């Protein structure tokens, strides 16, 4: 057992863990991929939704990808990526990718739960995990992959005025998407859907995120 595993969870972590234990209504796994035969097999992937206490409130973060990456060039996403042969499970994928992309040591991430999986137009089946990370921490964006790190307070994202549903052009077609706005950044696509699930969890009961203990 590691030192972290032996520690008790702080009150805000326990609160989030309980919220993530909610049941989800049945819904199709495939949202983005067009229907029809001939689609390539899905590739397993995972992302981490990092949560941490900053300025007596809960925050999360996103990465803005460079134009040099293979998938989702220039988009805003949670840290994560495809499962490698060396990953024992998808949680390991999420924390390994987080360490590689933004420099947060995987040993310092504490799992709080998971959100429903989804499928992307790039043929990934994504498992979103929620994890607590230490703060302050020296972020180290990976050159060539991560252009910048965008830190956002959860209370801001819980405001219904910062999200809209509008058409977004994708591969020459316009598709309806949730779009969250933050300081000139637009968060849409699979990341916006994962974020919407997280915010659903955080709205259950009283809103957390204001001056959490621990």
The dihedral built from the CA positions of residue 114, 89, 62 and 153, taken in this order, carries a sign that is positive
pLDDT at 98: 98
Determine, yes or no, domain membership for 169. no
Give the domain CATH number at 90.
3.90.79.10
Tell whether 174 is covered by a domain: no
Could you tell me if residue 202 is inside a domain?
Answer: no
Q: What is the tens place of the pLDDT at every residue in 13-56?
A: 999 999 999 999 888 776 666 656 567 889 999 999 999 999 99
Residue 110 tokens, joined: 């504490």
Q: Does residue 186 fall inside a structural domain? A: no
Residue ranges of the chain with per-residue pLDDT less than 70 = 1-7, 30-38, 67-74, 170-171, 205-214
Determine, yes or no, domain membership for 167. Answer: no
Q: Is residue 192 part of a domain?
A: no
Residue 152 lies in a domain: yes
Structural domain total, the chain: 1
Confidence (pLDDT) at 32: 60
Residue 187 in any domain: the answer is: no
State residue 207's pLDDT score: 47
10: containing domain: 3-158
pLDDT at res. 66: 83
CA distance 177 to 157: 16
Question: What pLDDT score was predicted for residue 31?
Answer: 61
Q: For residue 2, what pLDDT is reported? A: 34
Residue 44: its pLDDT value, please?
97
């Amino acid at each position: 057992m590691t030192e972290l595993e032996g520690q008790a969870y702080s009150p805000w972590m326990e609160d989030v863990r309980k919220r993530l234990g909610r049941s989800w209504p049945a819904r199709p796994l495939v949202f983005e991929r067009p229907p029809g035969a001939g689609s390539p097999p899905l590739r397993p992937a995972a992302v981490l939704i990092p949560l941490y206490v900053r300025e007596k409130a809960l925050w999360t973060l996103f990465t803005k990808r460079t134009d040099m990456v293979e998938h989702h060039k220039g988009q805003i996403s949670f840290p994560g990526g495809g499962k490698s042969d060396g990953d024992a499970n998808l949680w390991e994928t999420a924390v390994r990718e987080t360490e590689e992309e933004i420099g947060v040591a995987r040993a310092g991430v504490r799992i709080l739960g998971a959100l429903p999986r989804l499928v992307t137009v790039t043929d990934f089946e994504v498992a979103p995990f929620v994890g607590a990370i230490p703060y302050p921490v020296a972020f180290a964006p990976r050159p060539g992959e991560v252009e910048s790190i965008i830190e956002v307070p959860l209370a801001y994202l819980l405001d219904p005025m910062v999200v809209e549903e509008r058409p977004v052009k994708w591969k020459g077609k316009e598709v309806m998407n949730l779009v969250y706005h933050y300081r000139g950044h637009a968060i849409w696509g699979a990341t916006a859907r994962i974020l919407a699930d997280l915010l659903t969890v955080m709205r259950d009961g009283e809103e957390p995120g204001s001056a959490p203990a621990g």
